[in-house]
Structure 1
Amino acid sequence: MRRIEIGRIGKAYGMAGGLKFRGEPVIFDLERIYLEGLGYRAIEEIEEHSGEIVLFLTGVEGRQEAEQLVGLRVYADQADLPPLEEGEYYYFELIGRPVFVDGQPFGEVVDVEDGAQERLIIKARGASLRAQSKTYMVPFQAPYVKVEADGIYIESIPGLLD
């Protein structure tokens, strides 16, 4: 069974043991999560307040108990994740994939940044230390980025990988 990191516990919320959650919205589809070092906790309720996700977990009855969980990593079992539509990917599925630029090996995906636009963080392969330490950010949803079974293919455009 593989566990996938989906976020972190933020600050305690309210007096009833609520916890702010920072992470993947897939949390809304889960019945339980795995808390770093503590094990599984059932999700009793999820609320949204001012654009923030607030979790209420089994066994967390008050603010004092909630404050002890702040900062913990939150995981989900891969088998518990809902299936995605064709052409959609969970971030963990992209990390480690080889990247090809104009059909030639270039590097690999080392991270995916979320925000207004998802970006692939690509580490170049190369013989020199400078080449090996350089990373590139490429918009994931761009028309020149294609995800295939054997890797991610990018058509180079001026300025993209400079």
Structure 2
Amino acid sequence: MTDNRQNVAMGYIKGVFGVKGWLKVAANTEYSDSLLDYPEWQLSKDGQRLSVTVETGKVVNGELQVKLVGIDDREAAFALRGYTIEINREDFAPTEEGEYYWADLVGMTVVNTEGIVLGKVDNLMETGAHDVLMISGEYGRKLIPFVSQYIGKVDTENKTITADWGLDY
């Protein structure tokens, strides 16, 4: 049986805390406790996959600490170090008009207003003021601020972004 669901990497297990199976988690989310919104996690590392259930979690001094069901001692927790935490894309909350998950933007083709393909979004970067699309393509690496001044249309159905951005910028 194949699993066609799209899982999105949302962080990783960076260490253990205490002796009762608590884990330290590095979350790749805007708010570190956002991962607690998802009770079921897929863990992956070196081709191994595990399904786990979050028992409880908390943020302590800006660090996410999580207790998983069935992970009850330091040894069991230590064995999970380095695993990537993945969430099924179908489980994400709906976005508001004009809002997008980074995971949905990565892989989209960026075309400028002259119809020239600038490349594909391979990552995003947070600058504090706004997010920046990181694009790679035939014309090299481009960094385009993800703001309405430069971004015209985001077509999620056709996986394209129209940008008011020249080749020489």
Give the whole-Å Cα distance in 1 for the aligned partners of 2:110 and 2:66: 37
- Tell me, what secondary structure is at the counterpart of 2:75? helix
Q: Deviations over 1:21-48 (max 9, x none)?
A: 2222441311110011232100111200
Is the Cα contact below 8 Å between 1:29 and 1:82 reproduced in 2?
Answer: no
> 2:65 — aligned with what?
54
Higher mean C-alpha deviation, range 72-81 or range 108-117: 108-117
Equivalent in 35, 42, 54 of residue 34 of structure 1: 42
Give the whole-Å Cα distance in 2 for the aligned partners of 1:83 and 1:93: 12
Q: Does the alignment pair 1:109 with 2:139?
A: no
Higher mean C-alpha deviation, range 139-148 or range 96-105: 139-148
Structure 2 letter corresponding to 1:102: T
List runs of 5+ in structure 1 lacking aligned partners: 126-130
Higher mean C-alpha deviation, range 26-35 or range 102-111: 102-111
- Tell me, what secondary structure is at the counterpart of 1:64? helix
Q: Does the alignment pair 1:10 with 2:14?
A: yes
Identity rate, percent: 24
Give the whole-Å Cα distance in 1 for the aligned partners of 2:168 and 2:151: 13
Equivalent in 143, 147, 150 of residue 144 of structure 1: 150
Give the whole-Å Cα distance in 2 for the aligned partners of 1:32 and 1:143: 38
| TM-score for the superposition, normalised by structure 1 | 0.82
Q: Does the alignment pair 1:89 with 2:82?
A: no
Runs of 4+ aligned residues of structure 1 deviating over 6 Å after TM superposition are none
| TM-score for the superposition, normalised by structure 2 | 0.79
CA offset at residue 138 of structure 1?
Answer: 2.2
- Tell me, what secondary structure is at the counterpart of 2:76? helix
Give the whole-Å Cα distance in 2 for the aligned partners of 1:114 and 1:18: 29
Is the Cα contact below 8 Å between 1:103 and 1:153 reproduced in 2?
Answer: no
Higher mean C-alpha deviation, range 73-82 or range 23-32: 23-32
Is the Cα contact below 8 Å between 2:36 and 2:54 reproduced in 1?
Answer: no
Q: Does the alignment pair 1:118 with 2:134?
A: no
List runs of 5+ in structure 2 lacking aligned partners: none
Structure 2 letter corresponding to 1:107: G
CA offset at residue 96 of structure 1?
Answer: 1.4
The count of aligned residue pairs is 153
- Tell me, what secondary structure is at the counterpart of 1:38? strand
